[in-house]
């Protein structure tokens, strides 16, 4: 029962105040056993979807949490999915309701309908092929948040000439934000940020090795970026994708509002004539 129906029930005398208080306090989350409280209102409250992090969870718990989330939100997104998690999800939901991205290690449970489109556009770039898993996680999250995503992979600084034509094509799609994933020295996000007029999110990836490996050098390099750059944590594809999608969706919403205002002004002018 949502807040409107609770208030209506109190007004009509069908619910007492104590029960109404309990109902209001439980709004926005659904409990599973004593281990999880699903934030079912997170998207409407913040614009960011809730995802199930499969890491450190038992496969059967992931299945039940996904079942509740799919029931409440029509879709369920699971990240960092291992083979045992995937097997359990396949058995529970079947392949027709399950979308598996092996690079991103994500699963989307759905009823066959696509995620609602917001009109936002997010670009996702990877420096190397080894950086694609983190980039793909960001792309999946942005897509689930309603954005069109444009992927450009393996255009790192070892062959920077590969970047320019791909970046030109990406800019023609008018992205609201761009995620750039890079490991090793993590230079590419800084370069991209100096070539575009939209927000760039640096996503350091743990593909480097030796001194400064595991993404540490990439992270520190991005934090010291000369060009304007926002940076997330190492391998934080979810955060990068969600942040980019929030920006892109706000831009799309503002553009839609502006278009409606212009149409209203034109109608008003025609009426005056």
Average pLDDT of 52-77? 91
Q: Which domain holds residue 162?
A: 121-254
Q: In this structure, are 139 and 204 located in the same domain?
A: yes
| Reported confidence tier of residue 181, pLDDT bands at 50, 70, 90 | very high
Q: What is the pLDDT of residues 200-214, one digit of tens each?
A: 999 999 998 999 999
Q: In this structure, are 218 and 94 located in the same domain?
A: no
Q: In 10 A of CB 229, how many CB atoms? A: 19
Q: In this structure, are 107 and 196 located in the same domain?
A: no
Torsion of CA 18, 21, 23, 24, to 10 degrees: 170
Q: In this structure, are 81 and 19 located in the same domain?
A: no
Average pLDDT of 108-113? 88
| Reported confidence tier of residue 25, pLDDT bands at 50, 70, 90 | low
Q: What is the pLDDT of the chain when averaged over all its residues?
A: 90
Residue 75 has pLDDT above 60, yes or no: yes
**Residue 270, pLDDT score:** 65
| Reported confidence tier of residue 273, pLDDT bands at 50, 70, 90 | low
Q: In this structure, are 172 and 218 located in the same domain?
A: yes
**Residue 57, pLDDT score:** 94
Give the position of tokens 């029960």. Answer: 19
Is 261 within a domain? Answer: no
Q: What is the pLDDT of residues 113-165, one digit of tens each?
A: 888 899 999 999 999 999 999 999 999 999 999 999 999 999 999 999 999 99
Calpha distance 126→147 (Å, rounded):
18
**Residue 267, pLDDT score:** 63
Percent of the chain with pLDDT over 90: 70
Q: What is the pLDDT of residues 218-269, one digit of tens each?
A: 999 999 999 999 999 999 999 999 999 999 999 999 988 655 555 655 666 6
**Residue 112, pLDDT score:** 82
Please name the residues in contact with 45: beta carbons below 8 A apart, sequence gap of 6 or more: 28
Q: In this structure, are 146 and 237 located in the same domain?
A: yes
What's the structural domain count of the chain?
Answer: 3
Give the position of tokens 């992270």. Answer: 219
Q: In this structure, are 247 and 126 located in the same domain?
A: yes
**Residue 116, pLDDT score:** 86
pTM of the shown model? 0.83
Q: What is the pLDDT of residues 33-44, one digit of tens each?
A: 777 777 766 777
Asked whether 148 and 202 are in contact (CB, 8 A), the reply is no
Average pLDDT of 61-83? 91
Q: In this structure, are 250 and 174 located in the same domain?
A: yes
């Amino acid at each position: 029962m949502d807040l409107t129906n609770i208030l209506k029930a109190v007004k009509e005398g069908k619910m007492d105040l104590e029960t109404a208080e309990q109902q209001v306090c439980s709004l926005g989350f659904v409990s599973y056993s004593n281990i999880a409280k699903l934030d079912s209102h997170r998207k409407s409250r913040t614009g960011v979807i809730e995802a199930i992090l499969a890491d450190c969870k038992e496969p059967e718990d992931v299945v039940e949490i996904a079942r509740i989330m799919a029931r409440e939100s029509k879709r369920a997104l699971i990240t960092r999915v291992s083979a045992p998690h995937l097997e359990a999800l396949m058995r529970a939901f079947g392949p027709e309701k399950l979308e598996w991205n092996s690079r991103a290690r994500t699963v989307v449970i759905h009823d066959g309908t696509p995620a609602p489109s917001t009109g936002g556009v997010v670009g996702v770039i990877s420096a190397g092929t080894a950086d694609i898993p983190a980039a793909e996680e960001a792309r999946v999250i942005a897509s689930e948040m309603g954005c069109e995503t444009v992927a450009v992979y393996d255009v790192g600084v070892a062959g920077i000439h590969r970047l320019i034509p791909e970046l030109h094509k990406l800019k023609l799609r008018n992205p609201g934000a761009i995620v750039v994933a890079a490991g090793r020295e993590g230079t590419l996000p800084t370069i991209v940020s100096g070539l575009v007029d939209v927000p760039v999110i640096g996503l350091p990836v743990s593909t480097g090795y030796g001194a400064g490996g595991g993404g540490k050098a990439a992270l520190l390099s991005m934090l010291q970026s000369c060009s304007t750059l926002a940076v997330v944590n190492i391998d934080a594809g979810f955060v990068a994708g969600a942040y980019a999608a929030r920006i892109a969706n706000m831009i799309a919403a503002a553009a839609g509002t502006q278009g409606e205002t212009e149409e209203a002004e034109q109608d008003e002018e025609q009426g005056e004539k």
